[in-house]
Amino acid sequence: MVGWEIIRGLGVTFKHFAETYFDDLKWLGKPRYSQERAAARSSLDSRGAFTVQYPEEKLVIPEEFRYIPFLIYDEGPDGEKIDRCTSCGICAKVCPPQCIWIVRTNDPVTGRPIPEPAEFYIDVDICMNCGLCAEFCPFDAIKMDHDFEIATTNRMATDIFDKQRLSQPASYYASIRPTNFAAEEKARREKEAAKAAAAAAKRPAPPAPGKGPVAG
Ligand code: SF4
Ligand code: SF4
């Protein structure tokens, strides 16, 4: 029938419109703004249109969301910070807008490079959140953060993040990207096990009992 498809299309729009209000009924008697409500309404089960009342409510951030990169450090047995970054400079080379710069550490006596950065800066006004630095880092030392609330009233003074501002413990990375963290840890353990097995295979077998060198 002529015009039937137009009526069907309008029906879809009307259904979406009506569902917006039916979905609201589920939240009657509950607090007007809540994180529970924001999470439910931004999930795949939500129906109709919805508005998130930021900053009282915030959308649930998916694991692969990326904003400004951060540097990971591991914690040693005495709680000391061990930088994963070796200041190899790969991230700075691949960064499209060239907003990373690194100062390497040198041994004060020999002058030879030490594999950790003395300084590490990212200009967050230039960073375009592409994630290439994190993808190319061979040491899983730089990852993309979820924290997007970095607005400031004095960007000239605050928007060049230094090493201290960028550094986060590995536990923070595990908390915001649990799937990625678990996969990387598994790969790391497998690599270490393979290395240990290869080293063990290269070691000469101990002499058989009774065939050792005879003292003269
Ligand atoms: S973050 Fe990674 S790629 Fe960048 S300098 Fe450090 S180790 Fe190299
Ligand atoms: S996310 Fe992209 S633009 Fe930002 S520092 Fe990393 S490589 Fe550079």
What is the Cα–Cα distance from 113 to 26, expressed in whole angstroms? Answer: 62
pLDDT of residue 44: 85
Query: Which of 105, 139, 167 has the most ligand 1 atoms within 8 A of CB, as the residue to mutate?
Result: 139
**CATH 3.30.70.3270 for domain 69-198:** yes
Ligand 2 pocket test, pick from 99, 102, 126 with the greatest ligand atom count within 8 Å of Cβ, gives 99
Question: What pLDDT, on the 0 to 100 scale, is given for residue 211?
Answer: 56
Å from CA of 141 to ligand 1 middle: 6
Decide: 166 in ligand 2 pocket, CB within 6 A: no
Identify the residue whose C-alpha is closest to ligand 1 atom 6. Answer: 85
Task: Look up the pTM and report it.
Answer: 0.81
Distance 135 CA to ligand 2 centre (A): 10
- The residues spanned by each domain of the chain are 9-60, 69-198
Nearest residue to 61 via CA among 140, 175, 139, 152: 175
pLDDT score for 213: 53
Helix (H, G, I), strand (E, B) or coil at 180: helix
Pull the structure tokens for residue 194.
């393979």
In tens digits, what is the pLDDT along the chain, a chain of 216 residues?
Answer: 668 999 999 999 999 999 999 888 888 898 888 888 888 888 888 888 888 889 989 988 999 999 999 999 999 999 899 999 999 999 999 999 999 999 999 999 999 999 999 999 999 999 999 999 999 999 999 999 999 999 999 988 899 999 999 999 999 999 999 999 999 999 999 999 999 999 888 888 777 766 555 444
Ligand nearest to the CA of 120: 1
Residue type, 141: A
Q: What are phi and psi of 3, to 5 degrees?
A: 90, -5
